[in-house]
């Protein structure tokens, strides 16, 4: 309840302040991406914890749904930690029946994540967000095949991978919460501002 009411709902108020700025500068866009990421995490993880607690009161066991996802050092790792019930369902009932890792892995990831996006709602921003993660997972898979040493457990590579994963996921929250035209403006305006200065 604390995660939901005292953190997620309060973050909504901070997000409104960032959304009301006259122009999108790099700090504003980064602030929105980070705040939206923590807002959805604390909102959804809070709901999940409430359900787990209520189930325990009835002597039922519900598995955890989040496992510190923002500590992930790869997108594959992120999707094993984020909304684990949906991730495992998509894996078992969409990705593996399509062929999983055996045939056309990149296409299977795109289709699975596209459907994952549509699961959140029948809107273009959710579809784009799903495709974005599907492309990210496909690219990560290709890099993992070409440069396996980059994915070994080493403090330097772990830090680089964490920063890349966190940045990718955070930008994705903009795609999740805003129309594509708004995200385009959020992306282009800071670039034009930097080039113009």
Q: What is the predicted pLDDT for the residue at 68?
A: 96
Q: What is the predicted pLDDT for the residue at 65?
A: 93
Write out the DSSP string of 111-172: HHHHHHHHHT-SSHHHHHHHHHHHHHHHHHHHHHHH-GGGGSS-HHHHHHHHHHHHHHHHHH
Averaged pLDDT score across all residues of the chain: 94
The mean per-residue pLDDT over the stretch 62-77 comes to: 95
Q: Rounded CA gap, 133 and 83, in Å? A: 14
Residue 185 has pLDDT above 70, yes or no: yes
pLDDT digits (tens, 9 = 90+) for 15-29: 999 999 888 999 999
Would you place residue 186 in the very low, low, confident or very high pLDDT band (cuts 50, 70, 90)? very high
The token pair that represents 26 in the structure block: 């790099």
Measure the CA dihedral 41/43/46/52, to 10°. Answer: -90
Catalytic residue among 83, 120, 133, 154: 120
Active site residue 104: no
pLDDT digits (tens, 9 = 90+) for 125-161: 999 999 999 999 999 999 999 999 889 998 999 999 9
Q: For the chain, give every domain's residue range.
A: 2-196
The mean per-residue pLDDT over the stretch 6-35 comes to: 94
Q: Rounded CA gap, 177 and 40, in Å? A: 10
Would you place residue 195 in the very low, low, confident or very high pLDDT band (cuts 50, 70, 90)? confident
Q: What is the predicted pLDDT for the residue at 60?
A: 94
pTM score: 0.93
Residue in the structure block whose two tokens are 């403090």? 155
Q: What is the predicted pLDDT for the residue at 22?
A: 87
Q: Rounded CA gap, 120 and 82, in Å? A: 14
């Amino acid at each position: 309840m604390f995660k939901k009411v005292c953190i997620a709902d309060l973050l909504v108020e901070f997000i409104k302040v960032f959304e009301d700025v006259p122009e999108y500068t790099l700090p504003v866009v980064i602030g929105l991406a980070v705040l939206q990421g923590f807002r959805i995490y604390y909102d959804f993880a809070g709901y999940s914890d409430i359900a787990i607690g209520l189930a325990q009161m009835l002597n039922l066991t519900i598995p955890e749904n989040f496992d510190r996802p923002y500590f992930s050092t790869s997108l594959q790792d992120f999707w094993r930690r984020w909304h684990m019930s949906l991730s495992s369902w998509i894996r078992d009932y969409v990705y593996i029946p399509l062929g999983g890792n055996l045939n056309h892995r990149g296409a299977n990831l795109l289709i699975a994540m596209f459907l994952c996006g549509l699961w959140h709602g029948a809107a273009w921003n959710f579809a784009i967000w799903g495709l974005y993660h599907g492309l990210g997972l496909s690219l990560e898979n290709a890099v993992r095949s070409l440069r396996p040493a980059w994915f070994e457990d080493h403090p330097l590579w772990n830090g680089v991978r964490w920063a890349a994963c966190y940045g990718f996921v955070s930008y994705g929250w903009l795609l999740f919460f805003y129309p594509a035209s708004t995200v385009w403006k959020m992306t282009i305006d800071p670039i034009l501002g930097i080039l113009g200065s």
